[in-house]
Amino acid sequence: MIGLLITLCQGVLWADINVSFKNTRKTVLLPETKLDGVEYVRVEHFNSTFNSITKEERADQRLHLYIEGRQFVFLIGSPFYSSTDFSWSMHHPLKRVKDQFYLPSVFVTEHLPLHFKQMEYKNKTLFLPTPKDNSVKVIVLDPGHGGKDPGAVGKGRLQEKVVNLNVCLHLKRMLEEELGVKVVMTRNDDRFVALRDRTKLANDQKADLFLSVHANAAKARSAAGIETYYLSTAQTSDARAVEALENGVVEKYEGGEAEIAKYDALNFILSDLCQTEYLENSNNMALLIQQSMVSGTQAIDRGVKQANFYVLRGAFMPAVLIEVGFLSNPREEELLGNAQYQERLARTIFEGVKRFKFRYDRIRNI
């Protein structure tokens, strides 16, 4: 890599490294190991202390370290590493001992404070700023339809808006009690809420996640199963059919063609620019929720799909739309009207969200 070669003098270390967070009394000990007469820290211990992530590229003999939003690339067996187009020398190589990697302690005591001005090393202690907690704290649940808009209606007269609300109320309780997050509902009762107001609420609340819950319908009564969507152009005819079904609310209940034009103009431009960074995480969340729901209900797996739902367009956070079953299918309508099954649906969605939150929190707190 082209860049400036910067060398630093090795510090002399005789004890383990204390890592202390400023403005708190929290101090942890980073153990040192002497290898060939030089002090090293195990990368595994470094990661647990700094909440960093490493990835080995075996073909290139490189180790990638991600910490505080920055990447460091080390050459295995070499003292050199690169960051932001500059090359640096630790004077001692990154070592591999069996299946463990070891960093020269000088990287911790001398190099980190140079890369991160908020870090300071003195009196054998590395002082860090108090870490910001970027964990998921606010989740918005959106029970689809409501009020004058019943959504899909089964042959047995079960209305989608009722199913959606009941599942979301169960899910809200689980998220609050078991994950300790704040849950905001776009509606808590049988009222009509415009699609744009649903995502506006999520943005106003600075929500970390947005989940819109729906039930499906199709002309063929044999259609059955669960599917989960995230925002993009509809890729299949089935996805386009569901997209048309859910987006039809705008034309039918929100003012017709004039209101559709508003969704299709400014809102699409803004969302296209701002949402790109959330699509991968939306896909990941959709996959985990879909897997959990299918496993927990034994329903037909219709997969994770992409569609251009109006209700997802303006949500500037990971966002998914869940179709919990087909009200047009007599057997599934009966299931969806069952209180115990509604709670089971909520439980399976919860398990998927919990798994996603664990992974997403780790990434956001690097």
Number of domains in the chain: 2
- Name the amino acid, one letter, at 325: G
Identify the three-state secondary structure at position 143: strand
Has residue 359 been placed in a domain? yes
Give tens-digit pLDDT for 218-249: 999 999 999 999 986 445 556 545 544 454 45
pTM of the full predicted structure? 0.63
Residue 213: name the closest of 154, 169, 277, 275 by CA. Answer: 169
* Residues 144-178 as b or e (16 or more Cβ within 10 Å = b): bbbeebebbbbeeebbbbbbbbbbbbbbbebbeee
71 in the same domain as 26: yes
Which residues, listed in sequence order, are joined to residue 136 by a DSSP beta bridge? none
Which residues, listed in sequence order, are joined to residue 122 by a DSSP beta bridge? 125
CATH code of the domain containing 338? 3.40.630.40
177 in the same domain as 81: no
* Residues 237-275 as b or e (16 or more Cβ within 10 Å = b): ebbebbbebbbebbeebbeeeebbeebeeebeeebeeeb
Has residue 210 been placed in a domain? yes
For residues 111-123, give the mean pLDDT: 92
Report whether 140 contacts 201 (CB < 8 A).
Answer: yes
Has residue 29 been placed in a domain? yes
Confidence of residue 364 (pLDDT cuts 50, 70, 90): confident
122 in the same domain as 49: yes
CATH code of the domain containing 18? 3.30.457.10
159 in the same domain as 73: no
241 in the same domain as 356: yes
Report whether 79 contacts 90 (CB < 8 A).
Answer: yes
Which of 26-35, 232-241, 329-338 holds the top average pLDDT? 329-338
50 in the same domain as 190: no
Give tens-digit pLDDT for 196-226: 899 889 989 999 999 999 999 999 999 999 9
| Residues 272, 274, 276, 281, CA torsion sign | negative
Has residue 237 been placed in a domain? yes
From CA 339, how far away is CA 163, in angstroms rounded? 9
Give tens-digit pLDDT for 296-330: 999 999 999 987 777 677 778 899 999 999 999 99
157 in the same domain as 121: no
Look at residues 98, 128, 158 and tell me which one is the last residue of a structural domain. 128
From CA 85, how far away is CA 75, in angstroms rounded? 15
Cα atoms in the Cβ-side hemisphere of radius 13 Å centred on 175: 30
34 in the same domain as 118: yes
- Name the amino acid, one letter, at 207: A
Look at residues 128, 146, 177 and tell me which one is the last residue of a structural domain. 128
216 in the same domain as 310: yes
Look at residues 128, 150, 172 and tell me which one is the last residue of a structural domain. 128
177 in the same domain as 263: yes
Radius of gyration of the chain (CA): 26
Report whether 327 contacts 217 (CB < 8 A).
Answer: yes
How confident is the prediction for the chain on average, in pLDDT?
Answer: 85
Has residue 60 been placed in a domain? yes
Confidence of residue 266 (pLDDT cuts 50, 70, 90): very low
- Name the amino acid, one letter, at 349: I
Has residue 133 been placed in a domain? no
Q: Which domain holds residue 345?
A: 138-364
Q: What is the dihedral of CA 285, 287, 288, 292, to 10 degrees?
A: 140
Has residue 328 been placed in a domain? yes
Give tens-digit pLDDT for 65-97: 988 778 899 999 999 999 988 999 999 999 999
Has residue 78 been placed in a domain? yes
